[in-house]
Amino acid sequence: MIKNYLKVALKVLGRRKFFTFISLFGISVTLVVLMVATALLDQVFAPEAPEVHGDRTLGIYQVGLRSEQIAYTGFAGYGLLDRVLRNLTTEVPAVERTSILSVQSTAISYLDGKRVESWFKRTDGEFWRILDFQFLEGQPFSQDDEKNGHHVAVINASTRDRFFGGKPAVGKTIAIDGQTFRVVGVVKDVPVLRVVAFSDVWVPISTFKSSTYRKDYIGNFMAILLARSRADFPAIRSEVAARLKAAEAGIPNPEMYKWIFGGADTLLGAFSRVLFSTNSLADSHPERLLGVFLLLMMLFMILPTVNLVNINLSRILDRSSEIGVRKAFGASSWTLVGQFVVENVFLTLIGAGIGLILAAAVLSTLNASGAIPYSDLHLNGRVFLYGLGIALFFGLFSGVYPAWRMSKLHPVQALRGRQV
Amino acid sequence: MIRHLFKLVWNRKRTSALLILEIFFSFLVVFVVATLGMYCWDNYKRPLGFSIKNVWQLRIETKKSDDQHTPEESATFARLLKEVKSFDAIESAAGAMGAPYEFGQYQSGMTIHHHDVTMEFNEVTPELKDVLGLRLVAGRWFQEGDEKLSWLPVVIDRDLARDAFGGQEAIGQRLDEPAPDGMKPKPGMRVIGVVDDFRRAGELSGPGNYRFDLKRLGNPDDRPGRIILVKVRSGTPASFEETLMARAQGVAPEWSFEVKPLTQLRESAFRLRLTPLIVGGIVAFFLLLMVGLGLIGVLWQNLLQRTREIGLRRATGASRAEVHRQVVMEQILLTTLGVFLGTVLVAQIPILDLIGFVSGRVFAGGLLVAMVSIYLLSILCALYPSAMAARVQPADALRYE
């Protein structure tokens, strides 16, 4: 039956080429935009290299200090994170590893008098064991390097190109931000959208120029916690919450602030916490952010849908005699609705196929343009599945009303080719 | 004529309603993009209030929040500023908390004459007027000895003067910022001067209130600045950056630095604000193209259904031009209905004051652009199908089943 529907659909598509073209154009333009947006979100949130364990990682990203009158929100300070994470892995077996890392900032070097800007991140040794970087040469620095303040650095391939003309860099030194580091490893470029992993140059935290950061509660650090499984998330969250509560006793400026807000979040939760609870940071609501994404998608789809509905309705008129015959021979309205919806979904899927090819082209243009540093946007299985879901939804959304209108045609009138 | 057109549209109300809906949504899409574009353009034409010619920023990164500082850090900052000024290549240098075109900002709110006023502020040293070429319109700028006053002298921009004091004289007025409990209250602020509108965030940002507080370098209570803005002599080579960095690093080995011409910050600020607009514009363009093609297809098909009607009109003596005109007029009527609905909806923005930043002029501009482009699109799409319809031979048309 479905096979017959598809045959009919193909025939209809071939009959009115102009209509087929405008339908497919609309469908594929719509899906290109949605698939590019999906690929961007995928690059931020999906667990892919180097954030391979993203699906079982929690992070303490932004925290807030508050009193009755004022609130200060920002990234956490090293002092606070160190206090919260200390002995966490031994006391809570559900936590496999923890790492503290700084937010990347730009740092300046001068090569033959020319300024070179690099992204610069300070991390501990555990960072390299939670995230899975692809090393082109050398190896990461270790927890010992961090403890002893060794001036060592891991750089990415682009930095190697800039500083050493692409030649092997391990063992050479690199001057950056007024300090000198010995290169111990070179990794593949990490896209800027990978907010936790991204940088050009990674060095140990303890190479900081001053040591006052060790006491700060607010600063520019974040922490990631690798859980043994997602099932442990609730337990880890409440442990972190309890430790943040306990840390309130040690707030460095108690005359100003009394409470700490924040918690361990998934990446989605972290974005949502910042967006939706601006002042209190009391809770993360990842479902709200998902809701916003869905709402935006629906809003964007309204116009293409109305457009496709209009085109579909016109096509029905074109086929009134076929419908008349089918009805006269006893096809029920429901059968016809089914047939038309299947046809529309089929058409949408063809459009989605074209859209997929176009989206791949748009993404590789985006990658090549350098608009998003080191972006590695691509269509993977996940994006493909999302795209397929969106296409099916779009096909149903835009097919139901025309199908219903079609099934309402009166057979006698339909056979005479009268208007609906 | 019009009544007749309405009748024709009403007779085909379901098809017409969907077309109107499509035009309505297209109108909204164009309106949003056009209004954002108008907003940027309107801002771009306003005076900026400063000049960044030959101005570089030396950014200091202490990796700490502003809440805490030691008297030593404040002293280091004063020493650093003095050291920077001693270069021959530097005409003048000023310390500040924030720089033009920078992303972050310092916000403050207070109650003045019983109404709430929010403003952006900056703590600056007196040299800033020369570095950024600020234009004073009333009162005076900071001068030697101001740091010893028992109150804090501030200079405000024209927007803030208007917003806070209306028609009254701003000079000499007091501003009181509520200090959070437990914090040492700031000394009382008094306005000593008014400068031209100052739009720190750059050409594409909207107008806003601005306040300059005096940064008192010798005072250990005042936090160290985060920025030193330097005006270099014209012709200073880019390699001077490295010299400046090295000197700064020598004075304050614990801090990190970054030197950049402000033109570079200006570029990134433009990119940041224009990218969404460009992406939105491209998406809107493709959406309109899709709508345009769709309209052509639908109109064509509809007219094909009406071959007999058109044939009858031709047989009773209507010329081709008249048929043509009828079709286009019908389309204009549909468009008018869609645009009318859209206008009623977007008119709620100024009526209910939904989005503060949309001024009357920007709104009217966006509305006009949206209307013109939707009418153009709609008429263009009607031309080809109506030409096809007008070509129908009466004899063929009447026979057509």
ipTM of the complex as predicted: 0.83
Show residues of chain B in contact with A419, CB under 8 Å.
12, 305
Q: Is the pLDDT of residue A418 over 80?
A: no
Burial classification of residue B210, based on how many CB atoms lie within 10 Å of its CB (0-12 exposed, 13-18 middle, 19 or more buried): buried
Contact A38, A387 (CB under 8 A): yes
Quote the pLDDT of residue B167.
78
Buried b (16+ CB within 10 A) or exposed e, A40-63: bebbbbbebebbebbebbbbbbbb
Show residues of chain A in contact with B15, CB under 8 Å.
310, 313
Quote the pLDDT of residue B186.
66
Q: What is the mean pLDDT of the segment spanning B8-23?
A: 86
Distance from CA of A189 to the nearest CA of B (A): 22
Which residues 308-327 of A have a C-beta within 8 angstroms of B? 308-311, 313-315, 317-318
- At residue B357 the predicted structure's pLDDT band, cuts being 50, 70 and 90, is low
- At residue B124 the predicted structure's pLDDT band, cuts being 50, 70 and 90, is very high
Contact A146, A193 (CB under 8 A): no
- At residue B179 the predicted structure's pLDDT band, cuts being 50, 70 and 90, is low
CB contact under 8 A, A310 and B19: yes
Distance from CA of A335 to the nearest CA of B (A): 23
**A52-71 pLDDT, tens per residue?**
898 999 999 888 888 877 77
Distance from CA of A70 to the nearest CA of B (A): 7
**A355-382 pLDDT, tens per residue?**
999 999 999 999 998 888 888 888 888 8
Quote the pLDDT of residue A397.
83
**How many angstroms separate the Cα of A374 from the Cα of each of A43, A162, A163, A189?**
11, 14, 17, 6
What percent of chain A is modeled with pLDDT above 70? 97
Quote the pLDDT of residue B196.
93
Quote the pLDDT of residue A417.
56
Quote the pLDDT of residue A195.
87
Contact A321, A415 (CB under 8 A): yes
Q: Tell me the backbone φ, ψ of residue A101, rounded to 5 degrees.
A: -145, 155
Gyration radius of chain B over CA positions: 31
Show residues of chain A in contact with B275, CB under 8 Å.
371
Q: What is the mean pLDDT of the segment spanning B96-115?
A: 84
For chains A and B, what is the number of CB pairs under 8 angstroms? Answer: 134
Is A407 or B215 the better-scoring residue by pLDDT?
B215
3-state class of A186 per DSSP? strand
Show residues of chain A in contact with B180, CB under 8 Å.
67, 69-70, 256
**A190-232 pLDDT, tens per residue?**
999 898 999 999 999 999 877 778 888 888 899 999 999 999 9
Residue type, A188: K
> Out of A26, A318, A371, whose CB is closest to B294?
A26
Which of B186-195, B212-221, B363-372, B387-396 reaches the highest mean pLDDT?
B363-372
Q: Is the pLDDT of residue A339 over 90?
A: no
Lowest mean pLDDT among A61-70, A76-85, B53-62, B254-263: A61-70
Q: Is the pLDDT of residue B285 over 80?
A: yes
Q: What is the mean pLDDT of the segment spanning B233-239?
A: 87
Name the residue among B288, B273, B118, B299 with its Cα closest to residue B203: B273
Sign of the alpha-carbon torsion through B351, B357, B359, B361: negative
Is B107 within 8 Å of chain A by CB? Answer: no
Q: Indicate the average pLDDT of chain A.
A: 88
Quote the pLDDT of residue B153.
92
**A253-275 pLDDT, tens per residue?**
787 788 888 889 999 988 888 88
**A103-134 pLDDT, tens per residue?**
988 888 888 878 888 999 999 999 999 999 99
Task: List helix spans (H) across A86-123.
Answer: 88-91
CB contact under 8 A, A25 and B293: yes
Name the residue among A129, A167, A156, A125 with its Cα closest to residue A142: A125
Which residues 250-289 of A have a C-beta within 8 angstroms of B? 252-253, 255-256
Distance from CA of A81 to the nearest CA of B (A): 15
Q: What is the mean pLDDT of the segment spanning B370-381?
A: 95
CB contact under 8 A, A310 and B298: yes
Report residue A330 as tokens: 């006893």
CB contact under 8 A, A29 and B26: no
- Under DSSP, the state recorded for B224 is P
CB contact under 8 A, A74 and B65: yes
3-state class of A68 per DSSP? coil
Length of chain B: 401
Q: Indicate the average pLDDT of chain B.
A: 87
Quote the pLDDT of residue A420.
42
CB contact under 8 A, A219 and B283: no
